[in-house]
Each structure stands twice: as structure tokens, then as C-alpha cells.
């Protein structure tokens, strides 16, 4: 395993220990970290997300450290994640996967579902 992969894996492991699953900010904003909620693998690894929600709508979705192929995951970050923004949280499962990055897309969608399920149960 290359040093970069070890470093990313170590960062992800450290994040699992420190980050709460969900925090509530001012103005009714919730931030959900899916690192410990979903271990669905993409092409190479789990694809944890940081999902920000306000009034049951997705405000932002940020990819957290993972070991997916950078070229393909860049497409996920640029093309798939923005599709969730502005959407009602419960409708996020309606977003289609990206062709050519299907496994990673499906893992991201599984993380969005895990985030939604946790939010719905714990807000």
C-alpha cells in the first residue's frame, strides 16, 4: 500500500473516532457524518459523506476521505454530489448513478440514505 493510501486510511480511521454522527448548528442546521453509519463500498472503499441539512433540505454534500480512484471520484464530487443540493432530503434516493462510476455512485447513494435515515430518527 502506498504512503498516500496509508495516510488517507489513517485519516479516515481517526475521523471515525472523533466525529459525532450528527451535530445541530444554529438556525436548525444539521450536519451528518456517515463515516460510521454506512460501510457500503464503492469500487475500492467506503465513501463517507458530510451532509448538511436545513429544514429537511440538503444544503451541501461533501465527500470525506476515501480510497476510491481519484479520477472517477472527482467526477462523483463534481457531477453527482451537486445534484443533491436543494433537494428535499427524503427525495435524495431518486438521483441517478453516474455512468462509468456506478459502484462509487451507488455507495454515495447508500451513504445519503443512511444519513437520511439517521436524521429522520434522531433530529
Q: What is each CA distance from 49 to 1, 2, 58, 69, 107, in whole angstroms? A: 24, 24, 12, 16, 10
What's the number of domains the chain is made of?
1
pLDDT of residue 122: 96
pLDDT of residue 93: 85
- Block means of pLDDT (10 residues each) for the chain, 123 residues, are 49 61 96 96 96 97 96 94 95 90 94 97 94
Quick check: 77 and 48 in contact, CB under 8 A? no
pLDDT of residue 4: 46
Q: Which domain holds residue 77?
A: 3-122
Quick check: 84 and 54 in contact, CB under 8 A? no
pLDDT of residue 19: 78
Amino acid at each position: 500500500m502506498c504512503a498516500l493510501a496509508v495516510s488517507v486510511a489513517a485519516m479516515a480511521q481517526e475521523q471515525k473516532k472523533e466525529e459525532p454522527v450528527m451535530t445541530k448548528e444554529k438556525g436548525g442546521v444539521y450536519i451528518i457524518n456517515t463515516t460510521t453509519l454506512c460501510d457500503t463500498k464503492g469500487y475500492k472503499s467506503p465513501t463517507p459523506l458530510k451532509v448538511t441539512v436545513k429544514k429537511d433540505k440538503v444544503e451541501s454534500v461533501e465527500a470525506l476521505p476515501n480510497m476510491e480512484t481519484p479520477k472517477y471520484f472527482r467526477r462523483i464530487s463534481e457531477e453527482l454530489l451537486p445534484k443533491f443540493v436543494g433537494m428535499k432530503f427524503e427525495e435524495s434516493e431518486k438521483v441517478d448513478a453516474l455512468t462509468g462510476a456506478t459502484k462509487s455512485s451507488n455507495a454515495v447513494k447508500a451513504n445519503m440514505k443512511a444519513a437520511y435515515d439517521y436524521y429522520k430518527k434522531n433530529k
